[in-house]
Structure 1
Amino acid sequence: MVIAVTPEVTQHVKDVATKLDVISDEIDEVNILKLKERDAFTSESKFDSEKDKTTFRQYEDACDRVKNFYAEQHAKQTLEYNLRIRKQFQDNVRARMTVWEAMELLNELVDESDPDTSVGQIEHLLQTAEAMRKDGKPDWMQLTGLVHDLGKLLCFFGAEGQWDVVGDTFVVGCKFSDKIIYPETFKANPDYNDPKLMTENGIYEPGCGLDNVLLSWGHDEYLYHIMKRQSTLPREGLSMIRYHSFYPWHREGAYRHLMNDDDHKQLEAVLAFNPYDLYSKSDAPVKVEEVKEYYMGLINKYMPGVIEW
């Protein structure tokens, strides 16, 4: 590994993660509220069939912490920042470790501050994967569920805050869609005042395909590029990773003018993934040692050996 996890580093990361865990779970809650408000949530999943999704309050009543988070994210996720951060990550390797080692490292981010569940990050990954396994999803999809949040390792790699790790993602380099949560907060973003960027297409061509646009930087965009280079996950699995926080697109219908034919297939994949991410969390722990051998088999099949992070 390139990074050294000293007690000082661990404590710093835990301090960051204390806030990150809280805001990440509250963001998930807001997205659940939005789905309920629009009556848009449909799923063929079975594991959550007995869960009551009818008692959620309106998402506009979400706590100030979430609103303040999005105000900061929307102000700072500029086109210039996104171009710069990608070059920074392309030019440097921050760690070398296996996927399971990355999962164990990610678990260092967890403490008792989580308001919704007492289990750690590794538990969320295992619960997501196990829900898919229970529903008989293909092994590559189970593995996608297992790794989908590993991009939160950005906390170890110099993340500037929470705004560049979690939160709903959106396209930068064109007009900010009014389908993005709290769209009025984009007025503080420097790109908002650039008339060349604030057109429907901005720097893109209609129908260019989502592979050719820049999504706001965070844990899913980061992990997508890692897995695209160093795994054999099918395209649908890569899309599940990249787009699982892209709610303006997959739930609100934004950015359809930028899609190509293949993006419609990827949209189906992301919608199939989404309920397992949102609704699999519980306080019932997965017994790691009972499932580790199974998931190690999947890891070795699709992303063997040491990964460069």
Structure 2
Amino acid sequence: MKSKFTDKEVNPLESIEDWENDLLTRYPEPKSEQAKAKEDYRNYHDSERVDTVREFYRLNHQYQTYDFVRQKEAEFLKFEKKEIPFWEAIDYLNTLVDDSDPDINLDQLQHLLQTSEAIRADGHPDWFVLTGFIHDLGKVLCLFGEPQWAVVGDTFPVGCKHAEEIVYPEFFENNPDSKDERYNTKYGIYAPNCGLDKVKMSWGHDEYLYQMMKDYLPEPALYMIRYHSFYAQHREGAYEHLMNDHDREMFKWVEKFNPYDLYSKVPVAPDSKTLRPYYENLVSKYLPSVMAF
């Protein structure tokens, strides 16, 4: 599948973090009361950045089909690519250094620590802190050669009609599922209020990490990991018709997590050397010492 894409189609963004920067222009304030002022973040009005993000979503919306998701699940959910000790996996992720983020010039480890330390400072349970620390670990998909649009980006259900609340919904016109009678109705292959556990989401680092962690972490943590990029629902409420009451209860945790993910960036590098013993103990409490990718 990867061979069919050009280099530009694989890497339309200068950095995969451009997606998160774009999120800050769409959602400059969290739902919680602890909002960072909109003017404290850079908005992206220059045409080059806007065009780059649009191209990213054009590709994402065209190629993220129900069949594509099933193919990626078959390819990656065997977890046969690589076995890596946990801390080596963090170092591996850290090769994704973001040089383009105008809000902060920190590597991936420092961003993860800023997220998790903000959660810890607010007194949340240790599994919540761990969730903040590992939530982007699925981005290692990029290091396996996956296109950016199959790693990051707002996620959405496949197998049913694409909601208008998804960013750049006009690009779904080129998605084959939009012309397929099995998939282009409100419910598609699903039943009303069937529950999100029965719904396939577009492929990316959220679903990949969820599948990796589902035997190790509490259910609220798994919801945070699996749906933290599902902005069409937790910010726009576009898929209430597929959710059940249990989903709605669990999404309270997703909404708690979102501000820490998007709004915890500050231009002060965490002291990773000092913090490491705490996180070594935390990781060993919940996760195996070697991770299968």
Aligned equivalent of 1:71, options 19, 43, 58? 58
Equivalent position of 1:181 in the other structure:
167
Moved more, 268-277 or 190-199: 190-199
Equivalent position of 1:224 in the other structure:
210
Aligned equivalent of 1:302, options 257, 265, 286? 286
Aligned equivalent of 2:31, options 39, 42, 46? 42
Distance 1:20 1:96, change over 3 A: farther
Aligned equivalent of 1:148, options 135, 138, 147? 135
Query: Is the 2:15–2:99 Cα contact (8 Å) retained in structure 1?
Result: no
Q: Which amino acid aligns with 1:221?
A: E
Equivalent position of 1:194 in the other structure:
180
Equivalent position of 2:37 in the other structure:
52
Distance 1:33 1:81, change over 3 A: same
Pairing 1:26–2:15 present: no
Aligned equivalent of 2:242, options 245, 250, 258? 258
Query: Is the 1:152–1:165 Cα contact (8 Å) retained in structure 2?
Result: yes
CA distance in 2, matches of 1:305, 1:246: 30
Give the superposed CA RMSD. 2.4
Q: Deviations over 1:207-265 (max 9, x none)?
A: 11101111100011100100013x2x110001111111000010000110111111011
Query: Is the 2:18–2:100 Cα contact (8 Å) retained in structure 1?
Result: no
Q: How far 1:44 moved relative to its partner?
A: 4.9
Moved more, 268-277 or 134-143: 134-143
Aligned equivalent of 2:228, options 239, 244, 249? 244
CA distance in 2, matches of 1:262, 1:185: 32
CA distance in 2, matches of 1:239, 1:135: 20
Query: Is the 1:131–1:276 Cα contact (8 Å) retained in structure 2?
Result: yes
Aligned equivalent of 2:68, options 67, 81, 84? 81
Q: Gaps spanning 5+ residues in structure 1: where?
A: 1-14
Pairing 1:102–2:89 present: yes
- TM-score by structure 2 length? 0.90
Equivalent position of 2:255 in the other structure:
271
Q: How far 1:156 moved relative to its partner?
A: 2.2
Q: Deviations over 1:84-106 (max 9, x none)?
A: 11011233511112332211110
CA distance in 2, matches of 1:276, 1:59: 25
Distance 1:148 1:206, change over 3 A: same
Q: Which amino acid aligns with 1:139?
A: D
Query: Is the 1:166–1:218 Cα contact (8 Å) retained in structure 2?
Result: yes
CA distance in 2, matches of 1:67, 1:20: 9
CA distance in 2, matches of 1:131, 1:55: 18
Query: Is the 1:126–1:286 Cα contact (8 Å) retained in structure 2?
Result: yes
Pairing 1:136–2:123 present: yes
Distance 1:201 1:58, change over 3 A: farther
CA distance in 2, matches of 1:281, 1:20: 24
Distance 1:64 1:234, change over 3 A: same
- TM-score by structure 1 length? 0.85
Q: Which amino acid aligns with 1:307?
A: M
Q: Which amino acid aligns with 2:148?
A: Q
Q: How far 1:165 moved relative to its partner?
A: 0.5
